[in-house]
Chain A
Amino acid sequence: MTAPPRRASPPRPCIRTPAPEPLAFGRDAWHHHVTRIVAARDEVAGVRTYDLAFRDPDAAAGYVFAPGQFNMLYLPGIGEAAISISSDPRERAFVGHTVKAVGNVTQALERLGAGDEVVLRGPFGTAWPLEELRGRDVVIVTGGVGLASVRSAIFQIIAARGDYGRVAVLFGAKTPAGLIYTDEYDRWRAAGIEVLLTVDEADSNWTGRVGLVTALFDDLDLSPASSGLICCGPEPMMLAVVKRAGAAGIFPGDTYLSMERNMSCAARLCGLCQFGPEFVCRDGPVFPYDRIARFLEIRHL
């Protein structure tokens, strides 16, 4: 492995006596907005999409996010969870979140419906590099509910479709019943996006591919040297994808991953989301692969 390039800043001395600095004028880490569920729909069993509208019109007007960023959704008395934003960034009426009910917050959210309130903080974190990828081919690889985190990127690419070369979505789910956003694939294809699907386990109606999402690279006609890869899924899946994409000729520096860690504040204050020297909430969730490559290799970091 070669040493990954990192942020271009001069080396800092390892140890120095901390000097008092002028106090910063940052914003309150717990600044929030109350929202109302305007639509809740089932995607597949256990996965729902919630469209949230701000109670305060000023908050709605001031809220702007970039694809790849996330919100903290808070249910008073229950808790707070980091959820990626899955709606169209140009949509001003609501902010969408596709949520798998796995923890106490997401399970409580599942019991809510249209009209119920959800407190929102955000947006937080880094975005998919859609500006950097203009003029290039884009390969989007996701597994399971990971597609939610790239759905807003797909909206944005379609809105500026001419700015990108070939675009392919490689999506794997455990079973055909686990494929989310199925009613949107035709729209993506109509916009000139290849949508390649695979499942780990087929049912009797499935005529598509069976196997890992990495196998879909075999079906892909790429210009690897000019391609960028964005990937969101469980860590082992992302590592397998990076390896397969590297073998296909996509540069590690053109590969972007969305990381997940435990999180309380999402504002670089609680310390829970650390991954090596990175705060996943602020330095991520989207990382260039070569920035975190050496840390991804370490078990239980």
Chain B
Amino acid sequence: MQPVWLPRHGLQHLINVLRDRGHRVVGPQVADGAVVYRDLADASLLPTGWLDHQDGGVYRLHHDPRAGTFDHVVGPHSLKNYLFPARETIEAWSRTPDGWQQTTPTYEPEQLAVIGIRGCDLAALAIQDRVFMGGESIDVRYKARREKLFVVAVNCRRAAATCFCHSMGCGPAAGPGFDIALTEVGDRFAIEAATEAGEAVLADITGRVSLVPLTPDEVASVRHVPETLRETMQARVAEEGKPRPRSLDTEKIRELLFENLTHPRWAEVADRCLSCANCTLVCPTCFCSSVGEVTDLTGDEVSRERQWASCFTLEHSQMHGANARPSTASRYRQWLTHKLAGWIDQFGTSGCTGCGRCITWCPVGIDITEEVAAIRESPASSPPLSPS
């Protein structure tokens, strides 16, 4: 469908239409000093005029009257928080006179619409789809939620210094994978639908506010918005007194990392790493989990709670009598080599989308791009790795 112009006040109509169609609507909002996802009833809660300053271990919001509604980039939340929640009851069991019976209620997830998803997070969504639904055994709860998800994407027109989606092939342009995409231009949004559900939403908005089609010239210039940003990101250079712009060289990165598993850099980064797991919690693709048992006092009613696990904890690799990864160096190496190398063997894609969250939310500012660059600078002479 032809893109159309949605005036800024039309955002409220978008929210209303989504709610009227039965969606729970979630969108970015300023809370606790960050832009986070929350339930969104009112477009005035969107972070219009807010910009985020991000660097290793740094996230600061400041108000700028020139900033649009979506000129902040990514905060600590991603779609993962909704599709793969941090804690979830996956099963219930009851002890009955006839033995153990499963009493898990039928799972009916809500219809969720999320506004403000960027290219990096759409890529992360596709990656988690492969993890949870791409194999012989699948996560049926993830799949049920995924099938009811409505995505309103945003084409970025600004990048933080921590953003490196351009070098991961995941942005800044949004897509594919959205139902509707917004591109902010002046005081309005070019809005286009990519799915039937998206077109139905646009049709419903048409009944409430007039949507003017873009002229061919306007279409071309709107398409150029993320492209311009991509060129800007590629041309970024470090400047004195400013955060270093990030990029990651992915040339033969699987081979680079698996051939450097004993590189001295792992011990060096371990001296800085607190093993706090923040990077895995904010990562939109990290998928590790474990299951705990919760019982009532009699032990007859049991629920099983799946919760996020992190390779930075000892529990992750604990076996009887031995721990597979007892040192911080081994755990950091696991995280980084899995994300950038093992993932390629496992899922045919990198596990990194270049969103930069792991850099920003690391309390000591450890930078995945810097760690890879350090290894690339002085690679070890390990035997070559065969293709995945």
Contact = CB atoms under 8 A, between A and B. Distances in A.
Interface string A1-37: 1111110011110111111110110111110101010
A270 B383 contact: no
B324 A262 contact: yes
A4 to B, nearest CB: 7
Nearest to B309: A272
Interface residues of B, number: 79
Contacts of A272: 288, 290, 309, 316-317
B133 A271 contact: no
A19 B135 contact: no
A264 B289 contact: yes
B135 A117 contact: no
B325 to A, nearest CB: 5
A272 B307 CA distance: 12
Contacts, number: 189
B349 A16 contact: yes
Nearest to A234: B322
B129 A20 contact: yes
B321 to A, nearest CB: 7
Contacts of B108: none
**Which interface class (under 10, 10 to 19, 20 to 34, 35 or more) fits A?**
35 or more
A91 B334 CA distance: 41
Contacts of B258: 276-277, 294
Contacts of A244: none
Contact of A301 (B261, B302, B384): B261
Contacts of A23: 129, 133, 143, 146-147
A11 B318 contact: no
A50 interface: no
Contact of A24 (B99, B134, B287, B349): B134
Give the interface SS of chain B, mostly helix, strand, loop or mixed: mixed
A7 B295 CA distance: 44
Contact of A18 (B130, B143, B251, B386): B130
Nearest to A6: B386
A274 B130 CA distance: 17
A27 B143 CA distance: 11
B126 interface: yes
A12 B388 contact: yes
Contacts of A276: 258, 337, 342
Residue of B130, B299, B302, B317 most packed against chain A (CB within 10 A): B317
A14 B137 contact: no
Given A14-B253, A264-B290, A76 B302 contact: yes
Interface stretch (A58-66, A77-85, A164-172, A186-194): A77-85
A17 B169 contact: yes
B100 A279 contact: no
Interface stretch (B34-42, B90-98, B201-209): B90-98
B176 A15 contact: no
Given A76-B95, A277-B342, A277-B346, A102 B321 contact: yes
Given A6-B388, A24-B135, A261-B324, A117 B100 contact: yes
Contacts of B384: 3
A119 interface: yes
A20 B126 contact: yes
Interface string B123-163: 10011011111111111100100110000000000000000
A262 B317 contact: yes
Contacts of A57: none
Interface string B62-102: 00000000000000000000000000001101010001101
A292 interface: no
A206 B319 CA distance: 32
B333 to A, nearest CB: 8
B330 interface: yes
Contacts of B317: 261-262, 272
A267 interface: yes
A18 to B, nearest CB: 4
Contacts of B388: 6, 9, 11-12, 277
A16 B329 CA distance: 28
Residue of B130, B169, B302, B386 most packed against chain A (CB within 10 A): B386
A27 B170 CA distance: 30
Contacts of B362: none
Q: Which 5 A-B residue pairs are closest in the complex by CB-CB distance? A: A271-B288, A267-B137, A277-B345, A26-B138, A11-B387
20 contacts: A14-B254, A15-B168, A15-B169, A17-B123, A18-B170, A19-B176, A26-B133, A30-B90, A77-B295, A78-B293, A117-B100, A267-B137, A268-B136, A270-B290, A272-B309, A277-B344, A279-B346, A295-B261, A300-B326, A301-B333
Given A265-B137, A275-B324, 11 more contacts: A6-B386, A11-B387, A23-B143, A23-B147, A26-B137, A28-B137, A76-B95, A77-B295, A271-B288, A271-B309, A272-B288
